[in-house]
Amino acid sequence: MKLLIIEDEVELAGVLHRGLSKEGSTVTLATDGSTGIELACSVSFDFILLDINLPDRNGFEVCETLRETGVTTPIIMVTARDDVADRIRGLKSGADDYLAKPFAFEELLARMDAITRRIERPAVRAGHPDGRITVGDLHFDPRTMTLTRSGTPVQLTVKEMGVLRLLMEAPGSVISRSEILKAVWGIEDDPLTNIVEVYLSRLRRKLHALGPPLVENVRGFGYRLIV
């Protein structure tokens, strides 16, 4: 596994580097946001561990920049800032998880493993025993983690892919906000943020740029994939 750590705290960066290397990972370290962005955009990584307090720009800006430039690598924010507002901002900026310092190294590994399982979770649909899903002009192949619309590749983050897969597995059915929260974020309810709406908005923008609207907001109930 190839990991990118964007962290300016030398001691923590060293601990993470040594621990992850012992787990068999190849670790690259960036001590500022600009270098981290350059590396993430030019090298294919399996995970990015991102601090918020960086010397040149904050981690929220780095995360937003990476997502805007099409980097879909899973990002875990690792930071001493544990306010609810910061966690919400981190998730809205495109992070897949948020881990507050201090933390046990085993917890970091467990969270990385959980994200990996979500990515690799088989999607079983009648007629596609290998997990491939086709709904209209949308085609998702979990073996290669690729999505196309009318043959055109669509770059999605892990969370965006998780939301879309949920909709594709039940086309035409309304999926509630709470169902999406539980399936994709692993929480029962999150009244402090509109994170589902934020990700659905991004997803619709990417998909609808390639054709007619596909994801419909059923006001008061949830979302569904138009068939």
37: closest CA among 13, 20, 59, 53? 59
β-bridge partners, 98: 77
* Distance linking the first and last C-alpha atoms of the chain: 38
123-225: CATH, from 3.30.70.330, 3.40.50.1370, 1.10.10.10, 1.10.3720.10 = 1.10.10.10
Place 148 in a pLDDT band, splitting at 50, 70 and 90.
Answer: very high
pTM recorded for the entire structure:
0.65
With pLDDT > 70 as the criterion, what percentage of the chain qualifies? 91
* pLDDT for residue 124: 42
For strands 97-100 and 133-135, give the pairing.
unpaired
Question: Domain coordinates of the chain in residue numbers?
Answer: 2-119, 123-225
Token representation of residue 23: 């787990």
**If you average pLDDT over residues 174-201, what whole number do you get?**
80
Q: For CA atoms 160, 89, 188, 121, give the dihedral sign.
A: positive
pLDDT at 125 over 60: no
27-73 residue pLDDT tens: 999 999 999 999 999 998 999 999 999 999 999 999 999 998 889 89
Domain 2-119 has CATH 3.40.190.10: no
The helix (H) or strand (E) run that includes residue 139 is strand 138-141
Q: In whole numbers, what is the pLDDT of the chain averaged over residues?
A: 85
